[in-house]
Structure formats: structure tokens, C-alpha cells
Amino acid sequence: MKKTLLLLFCGLLITTKPLFADEGMWLLPLIGKLNYAAMQRQGLTLSAEEIYSINHSSLKDAVVIFGGGCTGEIISSEGLLLTNHHCGYGVIQEHSSVEHDYLKDGFWAATRADEIPTPGLSVTFLEQIEDVSDKILPELAGVTDERQRNAKISELSKTLRDTITKGQKNIRVMVYPMFNDNAYYLFTYKTYDDVRLVGAPPSAIGKFGADTDNWMWPRHTGDFSMFRVYTDKDGNPAKYAADNIPLKPKRYLNISIAGFEEGDYAMMLGYPGSTDRYMTSWEVRERMNVSNAIRIYVRGIRQEILLEDMLADQKVKIQYASKYSGSTNYWKNSIGMNEALKRLKVVEQKEATEKQFAGFAAASGNENYTTALDDIRQAIEGREKNYRILRYYTEIFPNIEIQRMAGRALDYLKALQDTSGKAIVDAKDKLLRHAETFYKNYNAPTDVKVAKALLKVFTEKIDKADWPQILINVEKKYKGNFDKYVDDWFAKSVFVSFDKLKAFTEKPSARRLRNDLVIQLATSGQHKANALGAALQTYSLQLAKGRRHFLAGLMEMQPGKVFYPDANFSTRLTYGNILGYDPEDAVHYNYYTTLEGVMEKEDPDNWEFVVPGKLKQLYLKKDYGRYALPDGKLPVCFLSNNDITGGNSGSPALNGRGELIGVAFDGNWEALSGDVTFETNLQRTISVDIRYVLFIIDKYAGATHLIDEMTIVEK
């Protein structure tokens, strides 16, 4: 059956066209067969090989994984890199202090020597993609046990990876399952570890609108930051060294300020993180009622505490800026997703597909298809209780920061208990390296408030039988006063500050560490979470099997449709058009915004909508230079119907000639169901217009040396 499925899959790739040109996250080696004709009709003038080639430089060589979860693009022959402000936010925050607050004031390196090294930050380039389905799927024939199947896949994937990485430095190979484990692709990457901060606008530009405008249109955010990639003197990836040189890239993007109109072609290359477009109705309900609901509730409580302390103290504001931003991003996404899934009746749509599939499966006589939906339903229903409990564990305990720090000390505790000598020294050094970074951005009084609030949530929402054993003991000892319990953490624990932890490691005691109140809960909580995870394993295997067979059958049931794989942070291309939309009756949204809108939103009493004085001066003078629209206004953001999700942040928005016209940074509120289903009429990508980016660099920051190293196309 698997061989037949693979042949069917390959046949679909060759013989059919996509139903909607704007829907889909397409694998680069297949666009010549699948998408190229449609892309040409819409305005693409490049060849398929100019987008993806393993023998010649192509657009894929200019697009990178930035850090661990964003996309970036190279925009000069000197390794200059552009990504979102929110992607660089953690780095900008890391280098900020009360004396040099780059979040508030922005940062621009006047010379290469002023560019700030950022240990731990890397960028990764795609080298090539290979379909290895024929090297894996035939080996799985006859393997019916899911654990054995997974073990075999791991073994085969390792062999494929080792073949490529042997003798190679800085090469990373990933074998990605596609189409719910019905196909496999091997991606080869090269990673560069010397990446330096070059420039960032103040948050009043780069994060204008903050949480209120997040996921919303109209948008007026200059969401960009700039870095530079460095290599050793021979052009090879290398750790930071003062004599490293700027990267000489295989390809960098030309930048177009010629403008565009509604309906013009637009495409994006990037690294979309995760979608679940082939979810069933049971899975959608679980996403809404468990994962999203718990995230919304728990993070909402924590974020109120963080924001109150951030607004009261500039130091705390800097310390928690990145944490708060990261938390609120997916908190608001979850709210919008639930609203959109209900409004668009996605569960009902899924149920209709499942009803059709059940009829097809029965007629097919294929046992895998006839049992697929039952496998999925039984797995979701069977895991409901433990899955819900585990979601509370993962939202609550890691977000009590002192608990997270104690969790990092468990290896050190193990070394103290089980070994001596070098193992203890190594574990200590590792712990202190992490602690130095952790405590730089830690405020104990804030964490006290968070700990009390989240423990209250946990003890109210979770039955006592499912608590970590230590909490059951503590309830008796403290007579239910968990606030007093938390106060004792911060009075007695070695994890309250870096100085206390460092002093402890100078004269360590396994017994003392084992009896530390914070590490007791970390240990007990991890033990309980591991037990919950183990109890869920059987259901996870059943769910994976059902999903695999359901999608295989769905592809066979709909032979006239081209299926694209869900996002999994591997390189994808999406294409479509510059396009506005109608969010509701009698309402139309234009496809672009201008600086006029920034001024209309200005509110000096609201930190989210403060406008820098210099930007207001430039606006009043209409000093926009060559970046203005024909009517004299300055563009800020624009919409396209490209298909994106998290991870695409920082992706280049390109015109039909492959020139950079913007940087993608968000989706729209009305279509936040997009991770589960693509809504053709509503789904939009929000990008910052490259003309606004260049205006801020040139006119606002005066960093004309950066403009000079770019290749800018004016016509």
C-alpha cells in the first residue's frame, strides 16, 4: 500500500495544479512541476531555477533561519541581514541597560567596529533539499507496531544524516516527515555563529502599537532590525573573533523602491514553523478547549503582573521586555484563533470532510482508511484528562522563573549525589554560565507575585490526586497557605539570586540542595510531568497512526487536488498577490498604510502609541526623499494573500523579479484560524514596506552607510 501511495503522490505532483495560487507552503524543488505556470501567469519573471538551485546561486541562498525561530534575508554583498524587530528583540534587550536602552532609543552601528557581537546567535543557510521517501518508506513495509516504526525511521534518518555530515563542519542535516509521515525530505543546512547587531529602530517604531495592534490591520509598525554575518578569513563559518570578516554571500537580494499596486504578484521564502491543516474535528476542539484555553487563562494572569512591574520600573521593563512580548504574542494569537475557528465554523467544515471520508473509506475496503478516524477520535478522547493536566503543568511551572532556574540545576544535583571530581566541576560551570544570563533578566519581587498567582491557579484547577507529591505534603505543613510557602522559597532558597547560587557552589552540599524548597518542587513536578507524558505515549502513537492513514486516504479521495505538507520549520515558498480585504459587511481594508496613520494613532500617554519626536518632525516637513508614494505620502505596511505562520516572521516579501519589497511580520486577526485552515477570502500577510525601512535607516537614523552598501532598484 505504501508503494502505491508514494506513486500516487508523485503522480499528483506532476499532473495537477493548485486550486488556489495563494494557498500552500510549497517545497522548493517541486515548484517547477507544481506551481511555476500559475506563478508566471500572476507575474513571476524568474525561472524556477533562479528561485531554487543546488548548482547555481538562487534566491534560496539569500534567505536564512535567524536564531531559533525566525527568518532573515541577506541584503548586501557584505553579509548585511534584515529581519523583524521582534525577531531581534531578545538580542536588542540583551544588550540594553538603563544607561544604554536600545529598546527605547534604538541602536545604529556607525562603523563595523561598533557592530555588537552576540554569542549564541546564529544564522543558517539552506544548501539543498532531497526527497528521500524511496529510501525510507520501502523499509517500513510490514512494520505495524508504531514504536518499531518510529525506531526504524530514526535509524534510517541517522544513516542518511551521517552519510552527508561525515567529515563536514558546520553542516546540519534534518530529515523531515511530510504529509503526516507519508513522505520524507532531507534538508542540508550550513550554520554561521558570528552574527552581530548592526541596527534597530526604537521600539516606538519597531514595536509601534505593541499588544493592541498585534495581529491587527491596519498596521503601522516598522518591524525590522539589522545584523551582519561574519566568517573567518577564508569565508568559513567560525565563532566570534575580532579579525573575522563580513560574509561574502552566494546571493543577496536587490531592493525595489519602484512600488507596487493592488493585484501585483508577491511571493515569500521562509521558514514557517507549524501548521495543522489536516486536523480533524476532534483535534480542533482539543486545540480550542484545552491548549488555547489554558494558555489564554494562565498567561493572562501572569502578564498582568509583569506589565504592572514593568511600567513601574525602567530596569524591570528592560529585563522583562522580551519575556513579556514572547508571552503575549501567542496569548493573543490563541484568543484570535479561537474566535476565528468559531466564526468560520471550522469544526463543522472538518466534520463534513470526515463524513465524506468515512463513506470513501468504507467503499475502498482499505482497513487503514476505515480505522483512521476511529484511531484519531479514541486517542483524543482517551488522553483528554492527562493532556489537560499536562498543559497546566507546562504553562504554570516553567513560567515561575525560579522554578525554571531550579530545573536547570537538576543535573548539578545528580552530579553531587552520584559522582565526584570533573563531572561536578563541569555541571557547576554549565549551571553558572546559564545562571549569569538568567539573573541579568530576573527580578525576584516580580517572580514572587507570579509564583503565588500561578500556584493558586494550579491548586484550584487540578485535582489534588494529580499534584506533585511535594505540594500535597506542603498543603498539610502550611495548612493550605501556599503564599507562605512561596515566601519561604525566597527567604531560604539558594536560587533567589546569582550571588546566593554562586556562594552555594563554592561549598556545595547534595543534602542541602536536595532539601531546597524550590528544587524539591522542581524535582517532584518533573517526576509527575514525566509520568503524565508516559501515560500519554500510547495515545500519541495511536493518534500519529490515525493521522497518517487519514491523510493518505484523503489524498486518494481527492485526486484532483494538490496537497502541500504542513509547515514544520523547513524552507517553503508561498505566492499570491498584493491584496486588501473585506473583514465584514460594509467594511473594506485598503492594501497599504502610510505615516499619516501613525500620527492618527499617536497617544503620548499610552506607551504603545508614543511617536518619537524626530519622526514627527520628518512627517511635518514631509521629508521622505525617494521613498515617498507618487501622492507624496510615505508607505508603512502592506497586505498580501501569501500563506504564512509563525517562523515566517522576517521572511522577504518579493516581487515578480525577485526583488525585496517588504519584510513579513504578522497575520490578520480575522484569519488567525490559519494554522488549522486557510480562509481564501480573509487570510492576509502583513509586511513592513521596504521603503519605510529604508526611510527609517536613511532619514531617521542617518545611517546612510548602510543604504550605500545595498543594491536599490528605483524603476
236-290 per-position pLDDT tens digit = 999 999 999 999 999 999 999 999 999 999 999 999 999 999 999 999 999 999 9
The answer to whether residue 158 is domain-embedded is no
> Nine-digit cell at 504?
552555594
416 inside domain = yes
The reported pLDDT for the residue numbered 418 is 84
Catalytic annotation present for 193: no
Q: Can you tell me the distance from the alpha carbon of 295 to that of 78, in angstroms, rounded to the nearest whole number?
A: 42
Q: Which residues share a beta bridge with 74?
A: 81
SS3 192: strand
Residue 279's Cβ-count burial label (10 Å; 0-12, 13-18, 19+) is: buried
Cα 57 to chain centroid, rounded = 27
Percent of the chain's residues with pLDDT above 90: 94
The packing angle between helices 293-312 and 314-343, to 10°, is 150
Is residue 150 assigned to a domain? no
- Which H or E run includes 352? helix 346-364
Asked if the structure places residue 463 within a domain, the reply is yes
Asked whether residue 213 is assigned to any structural domain, the reply reads: no
pLDDT averaged over the chain? 95
329-340: per-residue pLDDT in tens? 999 999 999 999
- Count CB neighbours of 374 within 10 A: 12
**Which domain, by its residues, includes 381?**
281-544
CA atoms within 13 A on the CB side of 107: 27
Q: Please pick, among 223, 309, 643, 666, the residue that the annotation labels catalytic.
A: 223
pLDDT recorded at residue 55: 92
User: Among 58, 61, 86, 194, which one carries the catalytic annotation?
Assistant: 86
* Closest to 281 measured CA to CA, from 67, 26, 546: 546
φ, ψ of residue 130 in degrees (nearest 5): -135, 135
Q: What parts of the chain have a pLDDT lower than 70?
A: 1-22
Grid cell for residue 532:
503524565
Q: Is 588 assigned a catalytic role?
A: no
Residue 602: inside a domain: no
Across 557-573, b (16+ Cβ under 10 Å) vs e yields: bbeeebbbbbbbbbbbb
pLDDT at 715: 85
Whether residue 531 is contained in a domain is answered as yes
Q: What DSSP line would sit under 649-662, residue for residue?
A: TTPEEE-TTS-EEE
Residue 420 has what pLDDT?
72
Q: Residues 208, 210, 215, 216: is their CA dihedral positive or negative?
A: negative
Q: Compute the distance between CA of residue 510 and CA of residue 516 in angstroms, rounded to an integer.
A: 10
Q: Strand 225-231 relative to strand 245-246: parallel, antiparallel, unpaired?
A: antiparallel
State residue 294's pLDDT score.
98
Spell out the residues 6+ positions from residue 76 whose beta carbon is closer than 8 angstroms to its own.
Answer: 252, 709, 710, 711
Q: Is 549 a catalytic residue?
A: no
Does residue 176 lie within any of the structural domains? no
505 within 8 A of 513, measured Cβ to Cβ:
no
**pTM above threshold 0.85:** yes
Number of domains in the chain: 1
Please give the span between the terminal C-alpha atoms of the chain, in angstroms, as a whole number: 54
- Residue written as grid cell 555588537: 116
| Active-site residue identified among 649, 651, 673, 687 | 649
The residues facing 639 across adjacent strands are 686
